[in-house]
Amino acid sequence: MRLKIKAVSEKPLFIPLNYQYPLHSIIYKLIWQSSRKYAEFLHEEGFHADLNSPKRFKLFTFSQLKVMPYCFTGAGFDRVRTIEFVYSTAAEKSFEHLVYGLFAQQELCLRFGRNTCRFVVQRVESLPEPQFTDSMKFICLSPITVSTKREKADGSGLEVHFLDYLNPTEKDHFCENLFLNLTRKYQTLLQTPYRGATAFEFQFDPEYLIKRQGKISKLIRFKNDIKIKAFEAPFTVSADPQLLKVGYQCGFGEKNSDGFGCVEVIKIDAEGR
């Protein structure tokens, strides 16, 4: 299921650019406060990454904020009165009322150091799910990140390396890990190995890359000391429709429950544009 949340403030507020961790913190707090049952849905047995792995997915994602109105200052968004964001999850039908209740009539307090931006939820709207086919176009509502492990330069062990789609030596690895991530989420949800035979193909829109002169990467500061490299651009992906449904519901790529990989379907007209 997918919800659009709209919240308003009594007075104009300033929201800095690095708001992702505060928004993430609000969502986690609401989940744990509102429903232990739904929290267990995210974390307990049956939601391992694969049948023989202790790693777990939380099976939800959320978009970046849409702020209205605003005056961009370079450091953030000033004079904001309204925020909107999308929350998406693969929660079963029986959990829908619990997910809806996470946000309805809630106060959202975004904390930035000593400053707190208070918003009251005005509307929670349930969004219809699209029909999934074997080739679809999406836009990013939050950027996509994919990583791997590699040896540290000093040889002291392994480190996380965020793969660069625009680097020819890493592009294939980026797409491979994106595919493997989707299959693990599929196995997590269905508790059965993925046996699809449809070839997986992924590419960010070449025309958009040209238009943006290749500037589609973002370095996002998460908490104080974590920097995450991610990409934000329209993309086309061909795959098993079941995998595309998983990506739409839970997010493409990694760190979805931190606010990465939330996407929306690009609507195509009758002429295929």
Tell how many helices (H) and how many strands (E) occur in the chain: 6, 15
For 57, phi then psi, to 5°, come to: -105, 150
Tokens found for residue 180: 């493997």
Domains of the chain: 2-126 (3.30.70.1890), 135-265 (3.30.70.1900)
- What pLDDT shows up at residue 46? 40
Q: Nearest-CA neighbor of 58 among 248, 250, 222, 263?
A: 250
Look up tokens 């789609």; give the residue.
165
Q: What is the pLDDT of residue 103?
A: 87
pLDDT of residue 196: 85
Mean pLDDT by 10 residues, the chain (273 residues): 93 92 88 70 53 64 95 92 94 70 85 89 92 96 96 86 96 97 90 88 97 94 85 97 96 95 79 47
Helix locations, the chain, DSSP H:
20-34, 36-43, 96-103, 171-190, 206-211, 241-250
Q: Is 153 helix (H, G, I), strand (E, B) or coil?
A: coil
How far, in Å, CA of 47 to CA of 188, rounded?
Answer: 5
Which residue in the block uniquely carries the two structure tokens 């290749």?
Answer: 214
* Sequence-separated (6 or more) residues with CB below 8 Å from residue 195: none
Residue 189 dihedral angles phi and psi, to the nearest 5°:
-75, -45
Q: Are 88 and 62 in contact (CB under 8 A)?
A: yes
- pTM for this entry: 0.89
